[in-house]
């Protein structure tokens, strides 16, 4: 049963300037695998792992089966797997997960981008675009992002967007081989006002 009582339609391409997002495709598999391999040192300390130690290193196996599995989230209504684009080229991923309907109407966002585009405004723009879609297109009420306290690059994203700090979640997710604390940030549709992209661009 879908959390929203329905599947999620492909939202098409979301864009602002040079930055865009679209649902991941099987044809993206090779590019994603190459990015994950090239960015091992950059990404490893922020990646989820399994407590059993049986985790698969991202990029070490073909991505096509993973992409197909991710795309099933649309049909089940449980999430939306985006790729992040810069000038039309795949530079990372953004995942909408933990979609809830009923009285909650919320979702979580997680993301990563290649080191070569970090610090150039790509991630804040991508996150803003997706939050605006989740509120305006999907009708959700609340979006949450959880970030490790040590991850200054990700913390700058939520700071730029003005998300509300909600508190520390101790030992929240198994990351890079251990249970790690995370800081929780959130925004509601009412708080977003004219939209997160407008806020980011200084138009609200």
Residue at 76 is within a domain:
yes
Place of tokens 């998300």: 163
CA-based end-to-end distance of the chain: 38
pLDDT band at 128 (very low <50, low <70, confident <90, very high): very high
Per-residue model confidence (pLDDT) at position 62: 83
Q: What is the pLDDT of residues 84-124, one digit of tens each?
A: 999 999 999 999 999 999 999 999 999 999 999 999 999 99
Place of tokens 């977003």: 192
Tokens representing residue 190 in the block: 């009412």
Residue at 42 is within a domain:
yes
Q: Is the pLDDT of residue 193 over 60?
A: yes
Tokens representing residue 110 in the block: 């997680």
User: How far is the C-alpha of 93 from the C-alpha of 110, rounded, in Å?
Assistant: 8
Q: Is the pLDDT of residue 35 over 70?
A: yes
pLDDT band at 190 (very low <50, low <70, confident <90, very high): very high
Residue at 45 is within a domain:
yes
Dihedral sign, Cα of residue 48, residue 70, residue 144, residue 38: positive
Query: Which structural domain range is residue 50 located in?
Result: 14-200
Per-residue model confidence (pLDDT) at position 133: 98
Q: Is the pLDDT higher at 22 or at 54?
A: 22
Number of separate domains in the chain:
1
Residue at 56 is within a domain:
yes
pLDDT band at 68 (very low <50, low <70, confident <90, very high): very high
In this structure, of 43-52, 139-148, 173-182, the range with the lowest mean pLDDT score is 43-52
Residue at 3 is within a domain:
no
Residue at 6 is within a domain:
no
Residue at 7 is within a domain:
no
Place of tokens 């997002």: 21
Residue at 2 is within a domain:
no
Q: Is the pLDDT of residue 65 over 80?
A: yes
The answer to whether 51 and 109 are in contact (CB under 8 A) is no
CATH of the domain at 122: 3.40.630.30
């Amino acid at each position: 049963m879908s959390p929203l009582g329905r599947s999620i339609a492909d939202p098409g391409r979301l864009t602002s300037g040079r930055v865009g997002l679209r649902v991941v495709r099987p044809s993206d598999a090779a590019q994603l695998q190459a990015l994950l391999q090239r960015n091992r040192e950059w990404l490893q300390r922020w990646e989820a792992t399994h407590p059993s130690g049986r985790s698969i290193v991202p990029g070490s196996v073909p991505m096509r089966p993973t992409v197909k599995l991710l795309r099933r989230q649309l049909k089940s209504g449980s999430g939306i797997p985006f790729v992040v684009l810069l000038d039309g080229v795949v530079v990372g991923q953004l995942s909408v997960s933990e979609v809830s309907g009923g009285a909650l109407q919320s979702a979580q966002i997680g993301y990563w981008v290649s080191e070569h585009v970090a610090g150039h405004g790509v991630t804040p723009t991508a996150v803003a675009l997706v939050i605006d879609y989740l509120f305006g297109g999907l009708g959700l009420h609340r979006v949450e992002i959880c970030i490790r306290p040590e991850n200054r690059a990700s913390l700058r994203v939520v700071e730029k967007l003005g998300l509300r700090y909600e508190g520390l979640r101790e030992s929240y997710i198994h990351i890079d081989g251990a249970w790690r604390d995370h800081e929780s940030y959130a925004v509601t549709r009412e708080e977003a006002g004219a939209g997160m992209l407008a806020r980011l661009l200084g138009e609200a």
